[in-house]
Chain A
């Protein structure tokens, strides 16, 4: 499979994988069916939008026939609605309907980030090399993801205000850690380092 084809297929596979991962085993409460429908719709429409991204819209739409006008309306709607965002929310909704399973959720998080990056690459036409500067940040993110999963694994000593507070502190610590690690991770490299994307001029 060529690189371009892989870039186009990756969002489909990752999106479908995320839905399956979050939906199995099927939940029967909290509008699970509706969330599943939204997730499938979002991923499918997002993939369709990427597939039809190159279809041009005529500048003059004054004397167009009904079917062509309807097609253009469909294209406009497809390009306007944030389908992927809807799919993300629906997938998280599906996951939260299940009882706590921290490592399962962590894998879903990795797949969701992969889905977003794949969608971005397919959308912008960039090669996966464009993600090279983000590797360190993504690695740090994966570490924080594991940390979050680990925090979720802290045995709950029975429901109560103590355990709830503990988990909230864990979440806050996670966000604070992210804020602390940022200045080191995201600092731009000096041009003389010889790494990264070379300057063209």
Chain B
């Protein structure tokens, strides 16, 4: 929080909103009134004028406060530094009041849910800046701002409350630098070295010179050894289609590190990593009421489109969602499908099996980090054991189908669980 006297030019461009003040006596005024009334009362009853003298300063202060002019309305300008932020990102909120004359302005921020206001929630001055941090993804209401005007004598207070705008909070992407690359890549220019020769920069092999080859690609040591001109060849560089599949049907675990939180953070990290590698990335969200999808695309703007699509996910019971009805644009053939799911919904698991049988290359990131509560009854322990065995069976059946399942706890980098699959190109077994 900071208080500033310098006019903020960007804030001045925001149209001010005229708001009505509700004036009432301050506690200070009520205390002065009590002293003056009690003093005069005692003076009259006890016939002791010195008590009227005790009441006199309080009466003077009260009467002085009454003759002050108080504005009925003031103009309030609000401007958050951004309307979209990632989890944990510091956001500033500039506020400014106009038309308060000589009155003292006090701002008090009442943060909304999952908004961390930091240490200071109140500030004085005509223009101040608050800072806060959204703690969890989603469309968050920043909160409300109480504005209190106090007159010169601090005897009257004008109150008004401003509802602050909403903030779109994006899930903070996890750390991911490495990428899973398919062995067979579509014939499209990209950054992944393919298993065919082309115009890339990664060494692929040596072959005999043919007329038309560039002279600078001649490998002179090899030519000397073999007695004929040899040229270096390089691997072609291709891109791939990546479809991120986020399972939003189950949200279990502590808020802030639940399965859905981890799924969205993981999907955001994967989207950012693959888009930086010039891959086309799309997203499918398996959620309440069916499936929503965004076709693969390129570029930084696609990252925000993907996160916007993920934000719309609503944890709940998915009725009859099926990937069979998805158009080809949403799930292009030969795409790498990276799944973020706690694998709790049996129908979702069936849908994964179905996709695998249709020939898609899948990689499941298991984001389940919660277990049923431990109790002391034997039946409860038995039920928990059965549940654990069911979970193990689900993961085992997927592995048997050729779908690798890796577990991610949400704390470590995504590179660690994916390390076994990022070292070499991933084969699509049929």
Q: Per a CB cutoff under 8 Å, which of A123, A133, A148, A201 touches B56?
A: A148
Chain B 234-249 interface mask (CB, 8 Å, partner A; 1/0): 0000000000000000
Q: Per a CB cutoff under 8 Å, which of B26, B56, B127 touches A144?
A: B56
A residues 133-163 in Cβ contact with B at 8 Å? 133-134, 137-138, 140-142, 144-149, 151-152
Chain A 111-148 interface mask (CB, 8 Å, partner B; 1/0): 01100100110011110001001100110111011111
Say if the beta carbon of A52 comes within 8 Å of chain B: no
Q: A88 to B35, Cβ gap below 8 A?
A: yes
A: contact size bracket = 35 or more
Q: Per a CB cutoff under 8 Å, which of B5, B43, B52, B63 touches A182?
A: B63
B: contact size bracket = 35 or more
Q: Per a CB cutoff under 8 Å, which of A84, A106, A126, A200 touches B154?
A: A126
Complex-state Cα separation, A188 to B34, whole angstroms: 26
Shortest Cβ distance from residue B321 to the other chain A in the assembled complex, whole angstroms: 34
Complex-state Cα separation, A53 to B126, whole angstroms: 24
B residues 359-380 in Cβ contact with A at 8 Å? none
Stretch from A2-10, A33-41, A64-72, A169-177 that touches the partner: A169-177
Chain A 167-198 interface mask (CB, 8 Å, partner B; 1/0): 11011001100110111011110000000110
Chain A 15-50 interface mask (CB, 8 Å, partner B; 1/0): 000000000000000000000000000000000000
Complex-state Cα separation, A171 to B46, whole angstroms: 11
Main secondary structure of the interface of B (DSSP, over half): helix
Q: Per a CB cutoff under 8 Å, which of A89, A113, A171 touches B49?
A: A171
Q: Per a CB cutoff under 8 Å, which of A130, A164, A183 touches B104?
A: A130
Q: B31 to A201, Cβ gap below 8 A?
A: no
> Which residues of A lie under 8 Å from residue B5 when comparing CB positions?
200
Shortest Cβ distance from residue B367 to the other chain A in the assembled complex, whole angstroms: 28
Q: B54 to A112, Cβ gap below 8 A?
A: yes
Main secondary structure of the interface of A (DSSP, over half): helix
Say if the beta carbon of A14 comes within 8 Å of chain B: no
Q: Per a CB cutoff under 8 Å, which of B49, B61, B127 touches A174?
A: B49
Given contacts A126-B154, A171-B52, contact A200 B57 (CB under 8 A): no
> Which residues of A lie under 8 Å from residue B125 when comparing CB positions?
200
Complex-state Cα separation, A174 to B58, whole angstroms: 13
Say if the beta carbon of A58 comes within 8 Å of chain B: no
Q: A149 to B152, Cβ gap below 8 A?
A: no
Q: B64 to A171, Cβ gap below 8 A?
A: no
> Which residues of A lie under 8 Å from residue B60 when comparing CB positions?
137-138, 140-141, 144, 178, 181-182, 185
> Which residues of B lie under 8 Å from residue A149 when comparing CB positions?
50, 53
Please, which residue of chain B has its CB at the minimum distance from the CB of A83?
B31
Q: B50 to A137, Cβ gap below 8 A?
A: no
Chain B 109-145 interface mask (CB, 8 Å, partner A; 1/0): 0000000000000101111000000000000000000
Q: B50 to A178, Cβ gap below 8 A?
A: no
> Which residues of A lie under 8 Å from residue B30 when comparing CB positions?
82, 85
> Which residues of B lie under 8 Å from residue A151 when comparing CB positions?
49-50, 52-53
Please, which residue of chain A has its CB at the minimum distance from the CB of B45?
A96
Q: B57 to A123, Cβ gap below 8 A?
A: no
Shortest Cβ distance from residue B342 to the other chain A in the assembled complex, whole angstroms: 26
Known: A113-B35, A134-B153. 9 other contacts (CB 8 A): A89-B34, A116-B31, A138-B61, A149-B50, A175-B56, A182-B64, A185-B64, A187-B67, A188-B152
Nearest 5 pairs of A and B residues by beta carbon: A148-B53, A141-B57, A109-B54, A186-B64, A152-B50
Q: B residues bordering A, Cβ < 8 Å?
A: 5, 7, 26-28, 30-32, 34-35, 38-40, 42-44, 46-54, 56-61, 63-65, 67-69, 98, 102, 104, 106, 122, 124-127, 150, 152-154
